[in-house]
Amino acid sequence: MAPPTATPHVLLVPFPAQGHALPLYDLAALLAARGLRLTVVTTPGNAAQLAPLLAAHPDSVRPLVLPFPSHPSLPAGLENTMNRPPVYIAVFIHALAALHRPILAWARSQSAHPVVAVVSDFFCGWTQHLAAEIGVPRVVFTPSGVLGTAVPHSLFRRLVKRPVGCDNGFQVAFPAIPGEPAFEWREISMLYKAYIEGLVEEQVRESLKQNCLWNLESWGFVSNTFRALEGRYLDAPLEDLGFKRVWAVGPVAPDADAAGERGGEAAVAAGDFSAWLDAFPEGSVVYVCFGSQAVLTPAMAAALAEALERSAVPFVWVVSGDGVVPEGFEARAAAKRGLVVRGWAPQVAALRHPAVGWFMTHCGWNSVLEAVAAGVPMLAWPMAADQFVNARLLVDDAGVALRACAGGAGVAPDAGELAAVLADAVGEKGSGARARAKELAADAAIAVRSGGSSYEDLERFVQEIQKL
């Protein structure tokens, strides 16, 4: 325990994926601004991502750079899941547990500034035992929403199986969650299916299960969400989160990203991007991006390209990693009303541009909150992970999205049907979602201001840390 007069020292352990690490760094900035001393675990290949945080808070944030653990299933030098298939996430969850001993040795050496709490990503469940050995509480940081966090924890808690003979349409109910939602088996997290169906090696399988069960032993959850979006799931402690307290502190991301390089160097300058968008009327452009990991198959890309051409809507299509674009499509788009960006895009700046009226997204939580904060309605095309859960929340609960494609990773939509969805969105049929998106953006802005629900939850969380 630190002396009462000491600055509380918190250890942060991110998971090396863009959608996980970036919001934890944003939370770190908020905690540092409130007077906490922070050490953030990183590895040589991920250390550069900390540069903006270290520059903004040089006196209160320090990195702990440790060698990335080797694993026979991981290529040498791979330290981040960006642009990698989902199976790598399972291996990373298992492999990262090897950081336990070096972190513990470091923590025991911090006599001048002892650690009072561990805040770690929900894929770093092994830190529950690390925190216990240090003798401090562990808080789970969830880069997903409350609903998107409760569903996988429910699965691992109950060990739901698909009955023999049932196809991917088998319905899995979640009776302990408000509204008792149900999802088809094809919509269930790949990580859970990898565990329950034995699709990964035994050690990795066990890590997947224990990761969630350890989270349920934690002191509580800090979630990048806010009450106006997920109040239904925050009103009472959820059985599927172990009845733990949840501090809803989002959206944690900064309001603006002038350089357009949040999470990586942009493939197109924010200024050039903005200038291209300036040529279009307000709300007329559809921004298309599926995050840092989802890669469309050639059939999916072909269907999307055809739908964009048939719908006649202006668009920006961001293609990341090894994504493909049908031959000749870029040239045809450039000659008319479309822009294809290969690589990382200045997404925050794009979504806040007046010309962007819709966001076709995989429903990754970072992208969801960036759209919500910008007041941009979404066309939901979930691929994997928590994305089907998020899509349900956005379409059915919040009313800020329309369904674009429900097939998931590897399933190509009908190009004509997708073109009709695009045309409807920019037309009168999309007016309700557009209006609701503006309302929710105002709610999000209020939530993070002084006196707002997220601001107050963050203040209460810091006060709890200061008592340790």
Return the domain boundaries, the chain: 9-249, 259-445
For position 363, what pLDDT does the model report? Answer: 92
Structure tokens at 113: 């500034």
For the chain, give the percent of residues with pLDDT over 90. 54
Q: Is the pLDDT of residue 3 over 50?
A: no
Same fold for the pair 9-249 and 259-445: yes
| Residue 105: Cβ within 10 Å count | 9
Q: 290-333: per-residue pLDDT in tens?
A: 876 667 778 888 888 888 888 888 988 888 767 777 778 777 87
Angstrom CA distances, 267 to 17, 215, 262, stand at 19, 37, 12
pLDDT at 392 over 90: yes
Are 398 and 392 contacting, i.e. CB atoms less than 8 angstroms apart?
Answer: no
Residue range 403-422, pLDDT digits in tens: 988 777 767 788 888 888 89
Is 50 exceeded by the pLDDT of residue 182? yes
- The per-residue pLDDT for range 421-440, each reduced to its tens digit, is 898 888 888 889 999 999 99
DSSP, residue by residue, 222-275: EES--HHHHGGGTSS--GGGTT--EEE----S-S--TTS-TTS--SS-HHHHHH
Average pLDDT value over all residues in the chain: 88
Return d(Cα 191, Cα 75) in angstroms, integer: 20
3-state helix, strand, coil in the chain (%, to 5): 45, 15, 40
CB atoms within 10 A of CB 134: 21
Annotated active-site residue in 9, 26, 57, 121: 121
Residue found under tokens 């090897």 = 98
Q: How far lies 163's CA from each of 168, 174, 193, 209, in Å?
A: 11, 16, 13, 20
Whether the per-residue pLDDT at 262 is higher than 60: the answer is no
- Residue 397 known to be catalytic: no
Which CATH code for domain 259-445?
3.40.50.2000
Triad 413, 415, 417: Cα angle to 5°:
80
- CATH number for the region 9-249 comes to 3.40.50.2000
> With contact defined as beta carbons under 8 Å apart, do 203 and 94 qualify?
yes
20 assigned to active site = yes
Whether the full predicted model's pTM is greater than 0.85, yes or no, is yes
pLDDT of residue 103: 97
- Which residue out of 20, 153, 353, 362 is catalytically annotated? 20
Instruction: Look at residues 90, 92, 227 and name the one whose alpha carbon lies nearest to residue 156.
Output: 90
Residue 263, pLDDT score: 53
